[in-house]
Chains A and B, each alone.
Chain A
Amino acid sequence: MPKFKFGKEAGIFLLLVVLCVVVTVMNPRFLSPINVQNTARLIGMFGILSLGLAVVIVTGGIDLSVGSLVALLGALLSIGLVDKHMSPVVVVVGVLLVGAGLGLVHGLLVTRAKLQPFIVTLCGLLIYRGAARFVAEDQSKGFGDSAGFMWLHDLAVGNFLGVPWPFVIFAVFAVALGVLLHKSVYGRYLYAIGRNPEAARYSGVNVKRVETLAYVVAGGFTAVAAILFAFYTNSISPSSHGNFYELYAIAAAVLGGFSLRGGEGSVVGVVLGAILLQILQNLVNLLGIPSSLNFAVMGAVILLGVLADNLVLRRKQA
């Protein structure tokens, strides 16, 4: 674990550089300030989702509810701020608590009721989507001109020294998570549980608590991203907002060297994976590839990446 696997991260970094060079050559607008800034903003928001999910994936779990949760929390944010005119600080704290709280519920269902993470969060995906549409009465929700909570609005669409705020937040979270996963006692326990929960238990690790906490972290990270997404789009249509976002998050982690079996992967990897994924999206736009092929391109690149990784790994072991 904290053992840094140079090969894996180096491979995806190389792929990232090659892609950037190719896109720049084919369409120099790739490096235009406006494109770089917008891509960085998207990297930030999707990246935060990926970081949270990575913590769950390390334990061998999964969270499919991310996209629906983004929609539900976005709708609640709008209702609190616009419909109910509540204090922005209270609403933000409330949204973060709901996110972390639902994560806690996932964690307890997985560790105490011993349900499979896939099933628990699949139900979450369905329930939160329904709840989002219900609380929003199936109407699009927005923030109008954000009067009274402009600072929140700016956090999503504004910049800090020219760098989009979401990217700054993403970078800070990545560093914090890097320390947590690779330097802390808690992180070591996470990897141990992902690799062999029984052996961890026999060594006195509080497996249930550590694992539950992973889902809480994922829920909290999702809530932060949900706030940013809500202001970024400024129009939350509860039936489609956040659709498939869990898959972006999982894809970034997998591209970055995480194994869904658990116990593998690093923060550097998931950061690179999140960046690569958005560059790919950008590439589809800039190179005039029909946007209908968007998902197909993404899928193909992930497949090739994982395949190449596997082949290299197998050769190393042989």
Chain B
Amino acid sequence: MLLASGITKRYPGVTALDGVDFSISSGEVVGLVGENGAGKSTLIKILGGLVQPDSGQVVMEGRQVKIDGSATARRLGIGVIHQELSDLDNLDVAGNVMLGREPTKFGLIDRPALRAMALRALERLGMGQLVDEPQSSLSIGQRQLVEIAKALSLEAKVLIMDEPTSSLTAGETERLIEVVRDLRAQGVAVVYVSHRLNEVKELADRVVVFRDGKNAGALDKEQITPQAMVRLMIGRDVAVANEHTHLAGAAVLELQAVRTKRFPSHSVSFTVHSGEIVGIAGLVGAGRTELAQAVCGVDPLAGGNVRLDGKSLGNSVRAAISAGLYLAPEDRRRTGLVTRSSVRENTTLPDLPHYARIGLLERGAETQTAAKMLEELNIKSPSVETTVSGLSGGNQQKVVIAKWLAMSPRCIVFDEPTRGIDVGARAEIYSRMRELADSGVAVLMVSSDMEEVLAVSDRVLVMHEGRLAGELPRAAATEEAIMALAVGHA
């Protein structure tokens, strides 16, 4: 049905895919697994026509094809369900399902036909009753299902699902698995990309594993076990990454019945001690980022109290920063960095008055600090005057960290510290976090990357729908235990 061979894709500073092969037949479900950054998403983007490969070829039903846009992919019969939602809040569900393919009559939208087509797709997912609801009234999980209905209505021959269950409830997940089995019976080829290895085991006829942009191996139906997949994903036997336990010191960051605007009726309390790294795991939409932002003063608290070193903290960014509580936010380009400014200007921004005398900046002092940070964090930048937008993702993330290391941190909150960056930079960031902890800083890390949570944290907190679902010491933190808490099944 579909055969991709020798696909290579380079981004500045990163080789996302390095000559990978991938194939699927009709009526087959292929699980595609790998760590974040292994190249799965890039392959999906290439097959979906969003990105052009640097080399390699794609053959669809025996003919070599060039997928130069998402419209081309759709015409070839390739449907993609992306992980990021692309729905429009101001439309109803039917409008979202048929978005971009609205049936028309005399040039105007044929509303009854549109509704009927949408309903057909929604009913296959058992959610026909939602057809007239406004999209804005749906839960995140329901929105995800609307995306799936959208792809189903395309009548695709190859359907690619990227983490389709990442924000679904257990019941919704069950239904989705049924739908995938249905599709297989109808001869559709389904590429199933997921971190949830049990789901992959349940569904897949074959598993393809990527590691660092290369084919790491494949497993046939009877060989598929979570252990076998993990072994191929990380290239060695499953091992606990960081054996020595850390002695936590005094309480640094204390959350007392903190409530966020997203989940105003749930409160969260916990403490992070000097010298420890606490990971917060959970599904997308569990309220982790909202919590991190409210604690660091970026968003208003809906209630509760945040204390740092025993002192109550005002709910503002400036109060947090002057007390030594810093946030490395999840979206570095949108909130972490002024990408049009230089490395120097970004590094000194949070502490600018420190580099000024009577309001006038002393550039020499700024340059000195920025240069020191370039070296300390091994930031690959031609100079401190280089514009940040020209750096690779990993180096940009290091600049975010440099901002805070140049000051005197008491507690740093890392929200998705290594999202979308390469393996090398990732390892450096982990060791930097560990050094921070060893120097007595309290480190709080929000991460959706299970491997990362397990490898870095001394203690794991799991959130589910705005609440703290549980706490796991390092020894008890396993992927299964975390997932059980994250989906609210513990």
Contacts and interface: CB of A to CB of B under 8 A. Distances in A.
Contacts of A198: 334-335
Interface string A174-185: 000001000111
Given A183-B361, A198-B335, A199-B337, A188 B329 contact: no
B349 A185 contact: no
Interface in B333-369: 334-342, 345, 349-350, 352-353, 356, 359-361
Q: Which 7 pairs of residues, A with B, have the shortest CB-CB distance? A: A203-B350, A204-B321, A195-B340, A196-B338, A203-B349, A202-B335, A204-B317
Contacts of B3: none
A128 B181 CA distance: 69
Given A201-B317, A204-B350, A179 B341 contact: no
B345 A1 contact: yes
Nearest to A182: B361
Contact of B345 (A184, A192, A202): A192
A206 B316 CA distance: 10
Residue from the set A3, A189, A199, A200 with the largest chain B CB neighbour count within 10 Å? A199
Q: How large is the interface on A (under 10, 10 to 19, 20 to 34, 35 or more residues)?
A: 20 to 34
A3 B385 contact: yes
Interface string B172-191: 00000000000000000000
B393 to A, nearest CB: 16
Given A184-B360, A199-B336, A202-B329, 16 more contacts: A1-B345, A3-B385, A183-B360, A185-B361, A186-B359, A195-B338, A196-B338, A198-B334, A199-B334, A201-B298, A202-B327, A202-B335, A202-B336, A204-B318, A205-B349, A206-B318
Contacts of B74: none
A268 to B, nearest CB: 18
Interface residues of B, number: 28
B403 interface: yes
A164 interface: no
A43 to B, nearest CB: 28
Interface of A: 1, 3, 179, 183-186, 188-189, 191-192, 195-196, 198-206, 263
Nearest to A193: B338
A100 to B, nearest CB: 19
A205 B348 CA distance: 12
B78 to A, nearest CB: 32
Give chain A's interface secondary structure class. helix
Contacts of A186: 359
Nearest to B293: A202
Contacts of B342: 3
Contact of B352 (A3, A188, A201): A188
A228 to B, nearest CB: 28
A82 B76 CA distance: 80
Residue from the set B321, B322, B349, B403 with the largest chain A CB neighbour count within 10 Å? B349
B335 A185 contact: no
A16 to B, nearest CB: 27
Contact of B341 (A184, A191, A205): A191
15 contacts: A1-B341, A184-B356, A188-B345, A188-B349, A192-B341, A195-B340, A196-B338, A199-B337, A202-B298, A202-B317, A202-B336, A203-B321, A203-B350, A204-B321, A206-B318
Given A201-B298, A202-B298, A203-B403, A196 B359 contact: no
Contacts of A199: 334-338
Nearest to A262: B340
A200 B340 CA distance: 12
A137 to B, nearest CB: 45
B354 to A, nearest CB: 10
Contact of A196 (B318, B337, B353, B361): B337
B177 to A, nearest CB: 39
A203 B329 CA distance: 10
Residue from the set B318, B341, B353, B356 with the largest chain A CB neighbour count within 10 Å? B341
